[in-house]
């Protein structure tokens, strides 16, 4: 499932149940971090982005994925998403939760 987040990025929920957030707006750890003239507006393009992930089922998050990671280039964002996609499945038991009917 894909969700747009306030014109600053997106969330993607993977088939294993983990969600990845990719953000490049004002205040995020990216090239646009200090562009306050865009606060509350659509973020301009950025060469870097901030990422973070979580599991809706409370599966323990590995140490290397616990904290927000910032200033990642597109290849690093893709590698991060691929790493999260390899995490243990959190899908079992999600029926009835948002997007898992």
User: Residues near 63 by Cβ (< 8 Å), separated by ≥ 6?
Assistant: none
Domain map of the chain by residue range? 2-85
Residue 93 — pLDDT band, cuts 50, 70, 90? low
Is the pLDDT score of 70 beyond 70? yes
Query: pTM surpassing 0.85?
Result: no
Q: State how far the alpha carbon of 11 is from the alpha carbons of 1, 14, 19, 36, 37, in Å.
A: 8, 10, 7, 23, 24
* Alpha-carbon span 42 to 59, nearest angstrom: 33
User: Which pLDDT score, from 0 to 100, does residue 100 have?
Assistant: 43
């Amino acid at each position: 499932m894909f969700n747009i987040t306030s014109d600053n990025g997106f969330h993607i929920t993977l088939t294993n149940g983990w969600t990845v957030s990719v953000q490049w707006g004002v205040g995020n750890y990216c090239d646009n971090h200090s562009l306050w003239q865009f606060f509350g507006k659509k973020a301009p393009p950025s060469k870097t982005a901030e990422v973070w992930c979580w599991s809706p089922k409370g599966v323990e998050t590995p140490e290397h994925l616990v904290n927000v990671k910032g200033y990642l280039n597109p290849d690093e964002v893709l590698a991060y998403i691929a790493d999260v996609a390899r995490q243990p499945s959190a899908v079992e038991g999600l029926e009835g939760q948002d997007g898992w009917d």
